[in-house]
Homo-oligomer: A and B are copies of this chain.
Amino acid sequence: MRDINKQTDIFYMKKAIQLAKKGQYTTQSNPNVGCIIVKNNKIIGIGWHIKPNTNHAEINALNMAGNLAYQGTAYISLEPCSHFGKTPPCCYALVQSGITRIVISALDPNPCISGNGIKYLKKSNIKITTGILLKQSKKINYGFFKRMQTNIPWIQIKMATSIDGKIAMHNGESKWITSPKSIQDVHKFRLLSTAILSTSQTIMIDNPLLTARPQQKNKMNYPQPIRIIIDSKNKIQPYHKFINELSTIWLIRIKKDNNFWPNHVKQIILPPYKNKINLIKLFNYLGQKNINAIWIECGAILFSKLLYLNIIDELIIYIAPKMLGHLSKPLYIMNKKIRLHETLQLKFKTIKFIGSDLRIILTPYKKINT
């Protein structure tokens, strides 16, 4: 019996997406993909992509199904690959298995190869259905999709403010405006990102480690995001605290210094613009380096610049129920005196209580098509 009922397709695709999610902390520059193989309304194979240089989801599911896959249906959250990459193409294995129908959620976002897998499968007389739970399958790969389509990573920026929009007291004191639960929430976002980006200024003031330190034991051994520091004036020195943590650091600079740096620290030289790092070029560079998702933690200056450049995909703002007063440090710096209709317009996406704080997520008003 063939499972061609749409409700059935949704049912199994949901499970495939759930499987895909299991890889969200480990697949890094690869997308999260899940696959379910079904025959006679029974699941006979499941698989997901775990990490780079290992089997794709389809191969794991086919391995589990074995010969039973013959005349079965495969549910895959992302179009299977048709080219030789780090592994042989999944399309080839799917055809070999004798599977007769494949349900795919999203097409490959890479414009150069999107649709090639489906073409190959159709030529082999496999019945294809696409677009099932498209929104959900894109959501688990927001970074991969954006990078593939724009060459720029998905960019999230985090700030912590009071009700009156202040990020520090007049003397710079900011530890801690928000509650421990908000800080723990930030660690979850850090762990989901390919890289954490900050500035030498933030290192000087707050001296953070910029590692992801989730409280849940089962997440403690996941790979750490790359730490990227904008350091156009070579202020970062080997003695800074965060250097002692062994996860990768990229110092984004205009020229190298002569320090002896440990192996996990890399100086990356980018062409300057007015003696500063050109931010657009930086994000393009990071896209080329296969960074899918960047989590930014910085001060008001970089935050304001990035908002002004309209390059941020999501603003995550933790609001503490406090009033710091007008002498405290502002969230958004805009030196031009502007009129109300010229102000930066955003859009609320989600709101959630995190401990005693409120977390709001905003997107640019003109939605970037991902």
User: Whole-angstrom distance between the alpha carbons of A307 and B346 in the complex?
Assistant: 29
* Chain B nearest Cβ from A310, distance in angstroms: 12
* Chain B nearest Cβ from A45, distance in angstroms: 43
- By the criterion of a CB under 8 Å from any partner CB, how many residues of chain A are at the interface? 47
A276 adjacent to chain B (CB < 8 Å):
no
Task: Report yes or no: A362 in contact with B332, Cβ–Cβ below 8 A.
Answer: no
In the complex, chain A residues 126-163 whose Cβ is within 8 Å of any chain B Cβ: 161-163
In the complex, chain A residues 145-186 whose Cβ is within 8 Å of any chain B Cβ: 161-166, 169-171, 173-175, 177
Which residues of the other chain, B, contact A220 by a CB distance below 8 angstroms? Answer: none
Task: Report yes or no: B343 in contact with A322, Cβ–Cβ below 8 A.
Answer: yes
User: Whole-angstrom distance between the alpha carbons of A347 and B322 in the complex?
Assistant: 8
* Chain B nearest Cβ from A90, distance in angstroms: 42
Known: A325-B332, A326-B332, A335-B327. A340 touches B177 (CB 8 A): yes
- Which of A3-11, A96-104, A350-358 is found at the contact surface with chain B? A350-358
Contact with B along A330-351 (1 / 0, CB 8 A): 1111111111100111111001
Which residues of the other chain, B, contact A347 by a CB distance below 8 angstroms? Answer: 321, 356
Contact of A346 among B161, B323, B338 (CB under 8 A): B323
Contact of A330 among B161, B326, B332 (CB under 8 A): B326
A265 adjacent to chain B (CB < 8 Å):
no
Contact of A343 among B324, B335, B360 (CB under 8 A): B324
* Chain B nearest Cβ from A2, distance in angstroms: 44
Known: A317-B163, A321-B348. A169 touches B339 (CB 8 A): yes
Known: A164-B332, A362-B321. A348 touches B356 (CB 8 A): yes
User: Whole-angstrom distance between the alpha carbons of A165 and B334 in the complex?
Assistant: 14
User: Whole-angstrom distance between the alpha carbons of A340 and B179 in the complex?
Assistant: 13
* Chain B nearest Cβ from A302, distance in angstroms: 14
User: Whole-angstrom distance between the alpha carbons of A26 and B353 in the complex?
Assistant: 35
Task: Report yes or no: B162 in contact with A362, Cβ–Cβ below 8 A.
Answer: no
User: Whole-angstrom distance between the alpha carbons of A170 and B343 in the complex?
Assistant: 12
Contact with B along A11-44 (1 / 0, CB 8 A): 0000000000000000000000000000000000
Task: Report yes or no: B165 in contact with A340, Cβ–Cβ below 8 A.
Answer: no
Task: Report yes or no: A322 in contact with B345, Cβ–Cβ below 8 A.
Answer: yes
User: Whole-angstrom distance between the alpha carbons of A360 and B322 in the complex?
Assistant: 13
Task: Report yes or no: A163 in contact with B326, Cβ–Cβ below 8 A.
Answer: no
* Chain B nearest Cβ from A368, distance in angstroms: 16
* Chain B nearest Cβ from A10, distance in angstroms: 28
User: Whole-angstrom distance between the alpha carbons of A325 and B323 in the complex?
Assistant: 17
A–B pairs, 25, beta carbons within 8 Å: A162-B343, A163-B165, A163-B317, A163-B332, A164-B331, A165-B331, A169-B337, A169-B339, A171-B337, A173-B339, A175-B340, A177-B340, A321-B348, A321-B362, A322-B345, A322-B346, A323-B343, A324-B343, A325-B330, A325-B332, A325-B343, A327-B334, A348-B353, A348-B356, A348-B358
A residues apposed to B, CB below 8 Å: 161-166, 169-171, 173-175, 177, 307, 317, 321-327, 330-340, 343-348, 351, 353, 356-358, 360, 362, 365
Q: A161-B165, A325-B335 are in contact. List 20 more A-B contacts (CB 8 A).
A: A164-B332, A165-B166, A169-B338, A169-B339, A169-B340, A175-B340, A321-B345, A321-B346, A321-B348, A322-B344, A322-B346, A323-B332, A323-B334, A323-B343, A323-B344, A325-B332, A325-B336, A326-B333, A347-B356, A351-B358
